[in-house]
């Protein structure tokens, strides 16, 4: 009788933890659906930042933890329509399933652009991804924007992006 009670207790605890974990994972995934509904251009893309860096930077998230970044040459980026940027993102996403850098026109650009395909992970409600630093970059989301937080030697560096809905 005791063995049966102990077994029932263990099964109940494991099942409860398992289903609460699944429920929590679905809740987290559902609460972050908005990040997949558009793309994010970096603040200052079309001004001094774009001119100084030589490109404009865009980020888009795809389900299954994929992050794509486009680097469109400046000043060409000032003339590219939002629909072409979305098409380039989707075309780049189909070219590789893992991490990759791809230089192409993606069927819509007049000049070659660079697409960086990678993965991200959710940690405590924040997105984290490898950004070529000693520590991963974090991303925090608002309703209409996101902030990438890059670790630094002394201070963190915050990079702002605005959401452009599909």
CB 126 within 8 A of CB 140: yes
Per-residue pLDDT at 27 exceeds 50: no
CATH number for the domain that contains residue 127: 2.40.128
Residue 150: closest CA among 126, 165, 133, 166: 133
- Could you report the per-residue pLDDT of 112-166, keeping only the tens digit for each? 999 999 999 998 878 999 887 678 999 999 888 999 999 988 889 999 999 998 7
User: What pLDDT score was predicted for residue 29?
Assistant: 44
Average pLDDT, stretch 30-36? Answer: 66
Q: Is the pTM of this model over 0.85?
A: no
Average pLDDT, stretch 96-122? Answer: 94
Domain of residue 2: give its range.
1-31
| Calpha distance 42→7 (Å, rounded) | 55
- How many domains does one find in the chain? 2
37 and 26 within one domain: no
115 and 81 within one domain: yes
């Amino acid at each position: 009788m005791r063995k049966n009670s102990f077994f029932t207790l263990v099964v109940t605890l494991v099942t409860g933890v398992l289903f609460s974990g699944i429920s929590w994972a679905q809740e987290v995934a559902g609460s972050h659906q908005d990040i997949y509904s558009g793309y994010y251009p970096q603040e200052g893309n079309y001004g001094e930042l774009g001119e100084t860096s030589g490109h404009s930077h865009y980020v888009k998230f795809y389900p299954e933890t994929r992050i794509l970044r486009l680097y469109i040459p400046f000043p060409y980026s000032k003339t590219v329509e939002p629909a072409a940027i979305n098409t380039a993102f989707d075309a780049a996403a189909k070219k590789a399933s893992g991490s990759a850098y791809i230089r192409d026109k993606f069927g819509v650009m007049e000049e070659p652009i660079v697409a960086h395909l990678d993965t991200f992970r959710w940690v405590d409600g924040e997105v984290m991804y490898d950004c070529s630093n000693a520590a991963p970059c974090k991303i925090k989301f608002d309703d209409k924007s996101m902030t990438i937080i890059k670790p630094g030697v002394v201070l963190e560096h915050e990079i702002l992006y605005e959401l452009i809905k599909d």
